[in-house]
Structure 1
């Protein structure tokens, strides 16, 4: 079983990637009092998390200032890979709460054994995370106009064409 954690008042929160487009690995990174936690996430998780936080922020008072989320801190050594995430807002403390659950292999599918990470952060940090997440997702490979799958620089075998002609972007 992996290590669970809780950052009650994160002083650092960002998402980032390592590797070139098409081979990027996405990470969620948070820190508190000199401790840095890195979790491996998927591109779609970053997209959905950014959208969910943006929708939540739209219902709240606008953040006073939005700082940049920043780059990943080295070394990028993930504690575990994220399977599921939930986002909530604590009105009393004016903090967003992200709960991430470890992705388990099928043979280890007992959810009670999954590690859980809890992050509490400000609306300003949340807005910066949304901007950074959207920036990273949009910086990826463009989608094929026919099938929607990413276009690789080395070529693309489009399932919509049955491989008979190359798609043109």
Structure 2
């Protein structure tokens, strides 16, 4: 059976965003074309890594590749997007594996997000990774370099808008503070 492909080539909008208060946020990747909206939930670390990898890919392209279009070093101001996620936010699936590539023919960043499948990841008896199975769904987004840089910039703001990090242990500090392992159990406050 062929997987359902949620393709956006290119999207009208592609952003990372959150729902919920700091410490209880759910992170989403959201793409829209016209009235079609797809939202995929993921972990904060996945947003951070995806943004860093996109940024690194674009930096490498600026240095090495001969492209027909200009790869911006920073996000173009006219592509900045500070609006909230679009409603309704209905999770298509939870993100598992993601791939990132550059399509040199169309000069686009290509992001593929596959659903997390705990049962397919590890064999309970052996603890070994199982052969990959065909996913039921795929979230596919193709972005110009400028839009990709704008995504990176917004993703960084979204991730940093949460709880502040403890300067000693790096763990998140709640409004009520946290027991810092590097401060011998003394409670640190935000």
TM-score with structure 1 length normalisation? 0.86
1:30-109 alignment, distance < 5 Å: 30-58=31-59, 59-60=61-62, 61-63=70-72, 65-66=76-77, 67-69=79-81, 70-105=83-118, 107-109=119-121
Aligned length, in residue pairs: 167
For residues 80 and 131 of structure 1, the distance between their equivalents in structure 2, rounded to whole angstroms, comes to 24
Structure 2 CA distance for aligned equivalents of residues 5 and 99 of structure 1: 10
Which residue is equivalent to 2:176?
A: 154
Distance 2:12 2:102 in 1: 17
State the 1:133 CA deviation: 0.3
Contact 1:15 1:71 in 2 (8 A): no
Report which of the two structures shows the higher radius of gyration computed on alpha carbons. Answer: 2
Partner of 1:112: 133
Q: How does 1:18-37 map to 2 (within 5 A)?
A: 18-37=19-38
Deviations 1:6-33 (A, max 9, x none): 2232221111111111111110001224
Q: By how many angstroms is 1:160 displaced? A: 3.0
Distance 2:134 2:102 in 1: 26
Secondary structure class of the residue paired with 1:112: coil
Where do 5+ consecutive residues of structure 2 fail to align?
A: 63-69, 122-129
- TM-score of the superposition, structure 2-length normalised? 0.78
